[in-house]
Structure 1
Amino acid sequence: MENKEIVLKAMNELFHEKDSTAIEKYWHENYQQHNPSMINGHEGLRNLLPVLDSNFNWKPGIIVEENDMVITHSLVHGWGSTPVIVVDIFRLEDGKIAEHWDVVQEEIPASKSANGNSMTSF
């Protein structure tokens, strides 16, 4: 399975299906988290599930895979009070997500953008 397929399956099973068994299946036991509001390891992911909005939705658009790195550019609903655009960077090791970085910004509709363009690729 390609790294991007692993990431897509992991994110879908954990965040959409709310299947906590996905953590052991797709995240490395020494998982490092670089989002400053989350802790390292499987515990941080387990702690996140109960506080996620019930309508949480992660919709990736652009996906780039290079060696052990996968980058997704996504629209996310339910991470906060307004939709956000997220660039997630995943490093995989032994077929599992070993590290994660992200950049998050509030979505601005194309109608309110200075250039009239959408922030997503879809």
Structure 2
Amino acid sequence: MRELFGDKDLTAIDRYWAEPYVQHSPRMPNGLDALREVVPGLKGFSWEPQRIAAQGDLVFSIVHGWGPGPAAIVDIFRLDGGRIVEHWDVVQEMVSPEESVNGNPMV
């Protein structure tokens, strides 16, 4: 994620992702070619991991970025042979603890 989205190194796709790549994010098509097309045009996105966990063939990470404003993102990846073959995400607009009803930070 850091190499692809932070460094914009498209060769990371060949090292860490594999086809068939199934995408469940509603704004992205299936397949690795979609990543190759989208990543160079991302402006202002930074991958700042807050928490990462793994269970079996699933990896979860919570990051900031992607949307037009600050957002908390939970990415879920399914791995096969150590490579990413499936992706889900949940994107939520960031709200400061002061603006939150419960006063807690989101991440």
Quickly name the TM-score band, shorter chain normalised: over 0.9
**SS of aligned partner of 2:98:** helix
Give the helix-richer structure, 1 or 2. 1
**SS of 2:19 mapped into structure 1:** strand
Of 83, 86, 89, the residue aligned with 1:99 is: 86
Q: How does 1:103-118 map to 2 (within 5 A)?
A: 103-118=90-105
Normalised to the residue count of structure 1, the TM-score between the two structures is 0.83
- Alignment equivalent of 1:47, drawn from 37, 52, 59: 37
Aligned to 1:13: 3
SS of the equivalent of 2:29 reads coil
Same amino acid, percent of matched pairs: 50
Gaps in structure 1 of 5+ consecutive residues: 1-10
- Unaligned regions of 5+ residues in structure 2, if any? none
Aligned residues: 107
- TM-score w.r.t. the length of structure 2 is 0.94
Superposed structure 1 runs of 4+ greater than 2 Å apart: none
Corresponding position of 1:29: 19
Residue 58 of structure 2: which of 69, 74, 81 is its match? 69
User: What secondary structure, in the 3-state scheme, does the structure 1 residue paired with 2:12 have?
Assistant: helix
